[in-house]
Amino acid sequence: MSNFDSNMMKDLSLFGTIFLGLLLVQCQPDDAPAVVPEVSFPINISAEETEDNRVFEFPVVMNQSTTRDVILYYETRPLTAEADLDYIPVSDSLIIRCGTASANIQVEIIVDEFVEEDEEFRLVLTGSTNAILAGGVQEAIGTIRNDDSVIAVTQEGHTSAESYPGKTLVWSDEFNGNAIDLENWTYDLGASGWGNQELQNYTSNSDNAYVANGNLMIVAKEQGISYTSARLKSIGLQEFQYGRIDVRAVLPFGQGIWPAIWMLGDNFPTAGWPACGEIDIMEVIGSSPSTTHGTIHFGADWTQHNYVGQGTSLTSGQTFADEFHVFSIEWDANGITWLLDDSPFYSVSPNVVGSQPYPFDHPFFFILNVAVGGQWPGYPDATTTFPQFMAIDYVRVFQ
Ligand SMILES: [Ca+2]
Ligand SMILES: [Ca+2]
């Protein structure tokens, strides 16, 4: 052995002694008095739902290094975020080796392309070995911040017949193209503060109304302290007198949200409202998202406005936001019958108007809109979520 090698061995030996000494100080046998650290879990994590943030790391901090291995028991619990939909649920334990004072607990979130509310889950430390949870059960909140703009629409729900005995499909918009068909639809613009005291500003922007995945999408958005939405109408483009009309739609929901599928008489620009007549095929007040209303408005002039109508409700806690339903009228010279998913729930005959003129005997055009606020629905509050959307699969007219 050379002199050089001998010196190196002495150094290694000295190093080994010091290293072993450190281990003995830091990690004691089970029967030695233990240093019991306090564990806290002080940091909430808030991050956008992106691939870069796919793993939320929650730091665990101890007030001193442990002299034994510490075991922490933890689990996720849902708040507004849902297990297996928004994050991967965990219920596990973490071993923190003696001599360390911090660690991370990881929760994987689920990244998709669809718009969601910002959603929260809890990560709870439920127990510990060789450590104390400072102040009892410790928890941190994970907030998954939305970064998407694509609205997901279910395809589930009721579908109406493609034909009826003795009737012919005279017109439909199936919304199966790439854009709103301007041979069928034009836009109402503005409207904030119109007669119903609505809040929304109707636009022709492609983020308030667009065609995607076979549906017309009308999207009400919160933009600062105001709201935008869209109102499409077929005036001068597609107007019909009588027929079976089917509209398949998923509706928005929430306090102050007011979707409608309705019609006005084609003489609206000259005769005015309500003399032109109004047929509400569907109106839903978002705070009662299980009830649709069928209504007609009439009267020789505004001072003689009158209306009759009736609602019908889904059962078992279902809402019109859950899946598609078909809103229909059967309209002929004998009157109008409203149907929900092919079941009639209300009818009127011409004598319903009493001494007022009966206006439902000439062509009408369609209006499709999502209003925000108004005298009937009231106004959005803290429970109202945005964006809210109405998806329309088709509008069909059979005669
Ligand atoms: Ca998303
Ligand atoms: Ca369609």
- Count of residues making up the chain: 399
What pLDDT does residue 33 have?
A: 64
Q: What is the pLDDT along the chain (399 residues), one digit of tens a residue?
A: 444 444 444 444 444 444 443 444 456 666 666 678 999 988 999 999 999 999 999 999 998 887 889 999 999 999 999 999 999 999 999 999 988 888 999 999 999 988 888 999 999 999 999 999 988 888 999 999 999 888 889 899 999 999 999 999 999 999 999 999 999 999 999 876 566 778 889 999 999 999 999 999 999 999 888 899 999 999 999 999 999 999 999 999 999 999 999 999 999 999 999 999 999 999 999 999 999 999 999 999 999 999 999 999 999 999 999 999 999 999 999 999 999 999 999 999 999 999 999 999 999 999 999 999 998 999 999 999 999 999 999 999 999
Q: Which ligand lies nearest the alpha carbon of 396?
A: 2
84 conformational bin, left if phi > 0, alpha if psi -120 to 50, beta if neither:
left
The pairing of strands 231-233 and 239-240 is unpaired
200 closest CA partner among 189, 186, 187: 189
Residue 211 Cα distances to 92, 196, 234, 287, angstroms: 45, 28, 16, 26
> For residue 284, how far is its CA from the centre of ligand 2 (angstroms)?
21
Distance CA 72, CA 38 (A): 12
Q: Which ligand lies nearest the alpha carbon of 249?
A: 2
> For residue 155, how far is its CA from the centre of ligand 2 (angstroms)?
10
362 closest CA partner among 277, 280, 298, 245: 277
Distance CA 78, CA 46 (A): 15
> For residue 323, how far is its CA from the centre of ligand 2 (angstroms)?
14
Residues assigned a catalytic role: 278, 283
Are 271 and 278 within 8 A, CB to CB?
no
What pLDDT does residue 149 have?
A: 81
What pLDDT does residue 193 have?
A: 59
**Cβ-based neighbour number of residue 72 at 10 Å:** 24
Strands (E) located in 146-237: 169-173, 186-188, 200-202, 209-212, 215-223, 226-229, 231-233
> For residue 116, how far is its CA from the centre of ligand 1 (angstroms)?
5
Q: Which ligand lies nearest the alpha carbon of 250?
A: 2
Note the pTM of the prediction, 2 decimals: 0.77
Instruction: Give all domains of the chain, ordered by start, each with its CATH number.
Output: 38-145 (2.60.40.2030), 169-398 (2.60.120.200)
Q: Which ligand lies nearest the alpha carbon of 391?
A: 2
What pLDDT does residue 2 have?
A: 43
> For residue 114, how far is its CA from the centre of ligand 1 (angstroms)?
4
What pLDDT does residue 206 have?
A: 93
> For residue 135, how far is its CA from the centre of ligand 1 (angstroms)?
35
Concatenate the DSSP letters of all residues of 154-170 into one string: ---B----S--TT--EE
Are 274 and 355 within 8 A, CB to CB?
no
> For residue 55, how far is its CA from the centre of ligand 1 (angstroms)?
15
Distance CA 359, CA 194 (A): 24
